[in-house]
Every structure is written in structure tokens, then in C-alpha cells.
Amino acid sequence: MTAATHLKSLQALEMAIRAGSLKDAAGRLGITPAAIGQRIRSLEDFLGSDLLVRGRSGLMPTKDLELALDDLKTAFAALDRVTEALDFQRTTEIHVVADRDWYQLWLMPRLAAFRADNPNILFCINGAGDVPLRLGAPDCRIVYGETRGGEVLYRDRLLPVTGPDNIGRIADWDKDMPLEGMPFIHLVAQRDDPLHPGWPAWVEKFGNRREGAGRGVHYRSALPALEAVRENVGFLICGLSLVQHELKQRRILLPYPAHQSLEAPMPYTLEISTHAKIRPQLQRFCDWLREQSRKTAAEIAAKVGQDQARTNSSALR
């Protein structure tokens, strides 16, 4: 292992202990849980010793690691401070860690416009981009959830989406239960995490299907799941903010009015590093995120309100 590889493995190890799980550590570093695990395993193989065990409260250090744990935590706390101090010299770089689905489906379609107006700003997002990943804390983090000191950007609405061909299928299907027997697509988080409600929660509230709401294929992220939706493979519960561009292009459609949706249990939250006030480029990017988030929140509210009004008007006729 090279010195750089050692350092990244130690960073993954320290973050896994701090966060309590590989998943949470991966979210903080902007890489996958598999990558976190691989880095830790490579270090364990090199040392010939296990470093982590799983306890009731999460990942715990083994006896071998406990001997070095205080030094490890102190070293990375110091590294964060050094990175922050030296980072003032890298004023054109912005390092971002973001929720993967949000990054791929919300940020990426919008980021080109920001970059066109700010061509000198370079990005590293979730470990990839114009500049290489650096150790230490990112400049800003966008997460799905509430965090201490975080700033709420917006809260999404979760609703069904499907391909154009499937709209006709349910129209000619079961009048009382039009989704009965239709193929459902799920995200793994909707199965494993109560903060990510999916088809069972939607069917429980709005009906349209008698049984089997939890059956179907599961995808780890929304991007490949939406590719299946575009191919008319099935119906997916997804955040409205994540499919706005797809809906405008009519590559996917809403089979039900937008007011037949679930409010996301958690908002998308922005965390900004302590040196944001000194770096105007980072301030500019965060201000842009706030502006785009306000537009998204307004568009969601307008869509839900318009569909509700349209439904009420039809009911009165």
C-alpha cells in the first residue's frame, strides 16, 4: 500500500467509527459503502488484524485498534484544521458531498447553468470532477435529513411516476383497483429505511391496489430505477423534485395528480464548512443552491395546488 492509500484507508476507518456505520461514513465522505469497506479491509489485510466489529450501537473498534484510537481521532481532527487553513489558497475549488440521488437528478441538470456563469470555479462532487478528492472535510454537504447546524433547502413530495405506455394500461385495467397486478419498482432505501416511504405507504393512503404493494424489483439508486420507468418497466415512487426535468420532457408521466403524494419525512439540508464566509466562490455557489431550492419548493407547491384545484373542479361538474 502507498502512503496515500494508507491515509485514505485510515480516513475511512476513522469516519466509520465516528459515524457508527459504513453507510453513514460513506455519506459523509461522498463515496459508496462498498468503497468504505474495501478501504478498511485493505488496511486490515496489510496489518493482518481485524480493526472493527459490529456492536449493538454500531461499529466498534477491536482491542488492537483501541490502542491507537485516540491518536487516530486526534490526527484527523488536526488534519481537518490543516485542510481548512490551507484551503484558503484554493479559492477556485469547491468540494461537495451530496446525497447521491439528489446529486444525479436534481443538481446535475442545473449545474451546467451555474458553471456557464462561473467558468473559473472547479468542482469535486462525491469524489469526482474537475479536481481530485482531497482529505479533510468538504466545503459543503447536502444530505437528506435534519442535521445540527444545517440549513433546510426544501422538502420534497413523493409520488408515483411511470412511462407513457403504462398510462394507457391502467386506464383499461381494473376500474376500482387500476394498479392491481401492475409491476412496481422500488428503491432499496424504501424497503430498509422508514424515512424513505415507498409503495406500501402510498397504497395505504391512496389505495388503487389490494395487495402486493411491497413486491417488485429493488434498485439501489433512483437513476437506474428511472431508466426502467422510461422503458415502461413499471411504476416507481420518487421525489417530485428529482423528476421535474423528466416530466417536462414527457419522458415519464404522473399516473395520478400530484396532490396524491406523500410529504417526505425529511428535508434536503445544506451544511457549510466554517470557512464559507471567507471564500466568495463558495458563498456564490451556496447562494445559488438556495435560489434554486426556493424555485423547486415553489414549483412543487404550484404543481400540487394546481392538480388539487383541477380535481376539485372536476368533482363539481
Give the global pTM: 0.76
Average pLDDT over residues 180-193: 95
Residue 194 confidence (pLDDT) above 60: yes
Q: For residue 16, what are the contacts with CB-CB under 8 A and spacing of at least 6?
A: 22, 25, 36, 40, 52, 59
**Which three cell numbers mark 6?**
494508507
Quote the mean pLDDT of the chain.
87
Asked if CATH classification 1.10.10.10 holds for the domain at 3-87, the reply, yes or no, is yes
Q: What is the DSSP letter of 191?
A: H
Q: Going along the chain, which residue ranges are E strands? A: 52-55, 58-61, 93-98, 122-125, 128-129, 140-144, 151-154, 157-162, 184-187, 217-219, 235-239, 262-263, 268-272
C-alpha dist (Å) from residue 49 to 20, 42, 46, 62, 87? 20, 11, 8, 9, 35
Q: Name the grid cell of 313.
A: 373542479
Residues 161 and 239: beta-carbon distance below 8 Å: no
C-beta of residue 173 within 8 angstroms of C-beta of residue 266: no
Evaluate if residue 274 carries a pLDDT over 90. no
Pick the CATH number of 90-151+271-301 from 1.10.10, 3.30.1370, 3.40.190, 3.30.160: 3.40.190
- CATH class in words for 157-265: alpha beta
Q: Write down the pLDDT at residue 89.
A: 47
CB-count exposure of residue 85 (10 Å: 0-12, 13-18, 19+): exposed
DSSP letters of 199-247? HHHHHHHH-S-SS-TT-SEEESSHHHHHHHHHTT--EEEEEGGGSHHHH
Mean pLDDT of 255-274: 95
Angstrom distance (rounded) from CA 313 to CA 109: 34
Assess whether pLDDT exceeds 60 at residue 215: yes
pLDDT at 235: 98
Residues, the chain:
317
Query: Could you say which DSSP state residue 89 is in?
Result: G
* Sequence-separated (6 or more) residues with CB below 8 Å from residue 217: 183, 185, 186, 228, 234
Identical fold between 90-151+271-301 and 157-265: yes
pLDDT at 182: 95
Predicted pLDDT at 1 = 55
**Distance between CA atoms of residues 230 and 151, nearest Å:** 33
Say if residue 2's pLDDT is above 70: no
C-alpha cell at 283: 458563498
At 90 the pLDDT is 59
Task: List all residues 6 or more positions away from 134 whose beta carbon is below 8 Å from its beta carbon.
Answer: 83, 95, 124
130: number of CA atoms within 13 Å, CB side? Answer: 11
Do 70 and 64 meet the contact criterion of CB atoms below 8 Å apart? no
| Whether the Cβ atoms of residue 161 and residue 187 lie closer than 8 Å to each other | no
313 burial level (CB within 10 Å; 0-12, 13-18, 19+): exposed
Burial of 298 (0-12, 13-18, 19+ CB in 10 A): exposed
Across the range 13-19, mean pLDDT stands at 80
Please give the pLDDT value at position 50: 82
| Residues contacting residue 282 through CB under 8 Å, at least 6 positions apart | 94, 139, 140, 272, 273, 275, 276
- What are the backbone dihedrals phi and psi of residue 260, each rounded to the nearest 5 degrees, phi first? -85, 70
The residues pairing with 238 across neighbouring beta strands, listed in sequence order, are 159
Least Cα distance to 100 among 189, 163, 166 occurs for 189
pLDDT given for residue 138 in this prediction = 86
Query: What pLDDT score does 51 carry?
Result: 79
> Could you tell me the residue ranges of all domains in the chain?
3-87, 90-151+271-301, 157-265
Report, as an integer, the average pLDDT of 139-166: 94
Tens of pLDDT, residue by residue over 30-89, are: 677 877 888 888 877 777 778 787 777 678 788 877 777 777 777 777 766 666 555 554
